[in-house]
Chains A and B, each alone.
Chain A
């Protein structure tokens, strides 16, 4: 299996639901707590696995605002794992999920340096690196209803802009939609073979304009009443 996400940039409205759902689930999850610093003070910050950035493409008035959620891409050739000296970072053989074993991390930040996508964040309080687990503590939990065995971000997304599935299966929803919608990876030139894919905004929808064959109206008298029963 090659588990990962598809993000639909055509429907993401930038609401941050996925980011907060992630925070909520994971702060009590296997890599929790996700420490927050100055939670009620100046410059509040904390550990998040999923952040939404916002861009504008093109110039006014033809600009397009793009909301851009980013989390771990679970790269096939995960440099963060390659560089990890302790073995805390690893990519699971079974499903390709890239994880950090909190008990083995020495907090050297090296994996974060190797990651082009900003997917890893050091929890300065715990001194260890934390990252998206693809909700490994949800997706295999037999005690959850089957349709809830999904990453928290995917379950919650109101705009259905997130898909989760197995890219090894050519018929899975993620494989099909990536093919059909020309999904692409970010910064493919670095060669890390990110598993997560981004669906570009759909091309602008064209609608016909009504072709009126009757004479245009210029005053009320141009209309002739029609008999219509009330």
Chain B
């Protein structure tokens, strides 16, 4: 699949935004008297919303006819994209209520927990729907599995967690527990991603034989029927050399997980916490952007079978 910059940016930033918002909610609910204070929580929430908004705006750049974007909520009955749109848009009033609650302060801890959990779940659900946009496509084996939404959620939460840690460090609230929790998030996300990489490596799914219904002999493409590329080859024909893919996978593991984890484990003792966390955040974003690019680049749409691929 052609990796569209707007979509990569959208999924990474909005995923991080929802992750940050969810973590902020949960952190604040679990530790109502934390060092961030309401100002810190509101700042975190605002940053999260900014990330989300940037992502959503970016996603519309992907539309060829954005004037009809408002119609995107019409088909929530069947479309994960419509659902994602709806959840994303409805998140704003919910986030607003949550922030209002924090800003005004509430007497009822239960109410805070309730609104926090609800908001966090909504945020996670939104990321889940983003993942489901891809996971529901049977045409792309690399996406069509439970790991896709899991990865989206875990990576969003991980990025959100790291950004939260960065903020916390500014409020000198980056406790060792928080740092350990962040490394847990990294570890879980890394595990899921590694499982994903192995998962998509095993050949399965349609072949040029099932695509053409000639199942008893070797089938080879003779001529694709057009000299120049088409929308289909541009959109789906994107292919990266195997060696480069492997390199990029290592880069994902390195930047998204290894460097942030190492910096948090080891670097923390060598430099100021804020510096270490900044490095971790920058590295993680770089890694996840590569991850997201790979997510598209490694996805082989079955239409490629008709363009000569033996298996997708």
B212 and A118 within 8 A (CB): no
The answer to the question of B231 belonging to the interface, with a C-beta cut-off of 8 Å to chain A, is yes
A53 and B223 within 8 A (CB): yes
A54-B222, A55-B222, A108-B62 are contacts. A85–B206 as well, Cβ < 8 Å? no
B214 and A57 within 8 A (CB): yes
A104 and B212 within 8 A (CB): no
Q: Complex formed: what's the CA distance from A70 to B227 in Å?
A: 17
B63 and A83 within 8 A (CB): no
Q: Which residue of A lies closest to B299 (CB)?
A: A113
- The minimal Cβ–Cβ distance linking B170 to chain A, given in whole angstroms, is 38
The answer to the question of B37 belonging to the interface, with a C-beta cut-off of 8 Å to chain A, is no
The answer to the question of A27 belonging to the interface, with a C-beta cut-off of 8 Å to chain B, is no
B303 and A106 within 8 A (CB): no
A45 and B226 within 8 A (CB): yes
Q: Which residue of A lies closest to B211 (CB)?
A: A187
B221 and A54 within 8 A (CB): yes
The 8 Å CB contact of A57, one of B64, B217, B231, is B217
The answer to the question of A61 belonging to the interface, with a C-beta cut-off of 8 Å to chain B, is no
B81 and A85 within 8 A (CB): yes
- Counting residue pairs across A and B whose Cβ atoms lie within 8 Å, the total is 185
A83-B137, A85-B79 are contacts. A55–B225 as well, Cβ < 8 Å? no
CB neighbours of B80 from chain A (8 A): 83
The 8 Å CB contact of A56, one of B66, B82, B220, is B220
Chain B 271-302 residues near chain A, CB threshold 8 A = 301-302
Instruction: Select the residue from B65, B78, B218 with max chain A CB neighbours within 10 A.
Output: B65
- The minimal Cβ–Cβ distance linking A50 to chain B, given in whole angstroms, is 10
The 8 Å CB contact of A107, one of B1, B63, B138, B214, is B63
Chain A 151-195 residues near chain B, CB threshold 8 A = 184-192
CB neighbours of B305 from chain A (8 A): 187
CB neighbours of A106 from chain B (8 A): 63-69, 71-72
The answer to the question of A44 belonging to the interface, with a C-beta cut-off of 8 Å to chain B, is yes
> Which range contains the number of B residues in contact with the other chain?
35 or more
- The minimal Cβ–Cβ distance linking B74 to chain A, given in whole angstroms, is 4
- 0 or 1 for each of A52-92: is its CB under 8 Å from B? (1 = yes): 11111111000001101010000000010111111110000
Q: Which residue of B lies closest to A16 (CB)?
A: B225
CB neighbours of B228 from chain A (8 A): 38, 42-45
The 8 Å CB contact of A114, one of B65, B74, B139, B231, is B139
- 0 or 1 for each of A112-144: is its CB under 8 Å from B? (1 = yes): 111111100110101110000000000000000
CB neighbours of A118 from chain B (8 A): 232, 236, 303, 306
A187 and B206 within 8 A (CB): yes
Instruction: Select the residue from B62, B301, B306 with max chain A CB neighbours within 10 A.
Output: B306
B139 and A190 within 8 A (CB): yes
A87 and B74 within 8 A (CB): yes
The 8 Å CB contact of A53, one of B68, B69, B225, is B225
B64 and A59 within 8 A (CB): no
CB neighbours of B67 from chain A (8 A): 106
- The minimal Cβ–Cβ distance linking B23 to chain A, given in whole angstroms, is 28
The answer to the question of B140 belonging to the interface, with a C-beta cut-off of 8 Å to chain A, is yes
CB neighbours of B211 from chain A (8 A): 116, 186-187
A108 and B225 within 8 A (CB): no
CB neighbours of B302 from chain A (8 A): 116, 187, 190
Q: Complex formed: what's the CA distance from A105 to B225 in Å?
A: 28
CB neighbours of B269 from chain A (8 A): none
Q: Complex formed: what's the CA distance from A58 to B217 in Å?
A: 5
B79 and A82 within 8 A (CB): yes
A107 and B65 within 8 A (CB): yes
6 closest Cβ pairs, A-B complex = A107-B64, A127-B65, A43-B228, A127-B64, A85-B82, A86-B71
- Spell out B's residues near A (CB within 8 Å): 1, 62-69, 71-75, 78-82, 85, 133, 136-140, 206, 208, 210-214, 217-232, 235-236, 301-303, 305-307
12 additional A-B residue pairs with CB within 8 Å, beyond A105-B65, A112-B231, A121-B231: A45-B231, A54-B222, A58-B217, A58-B218, A83-B78, A84-B78, A86-B74, A115-B139, A116-B211, A124-B64, A184-B213, A192-B138
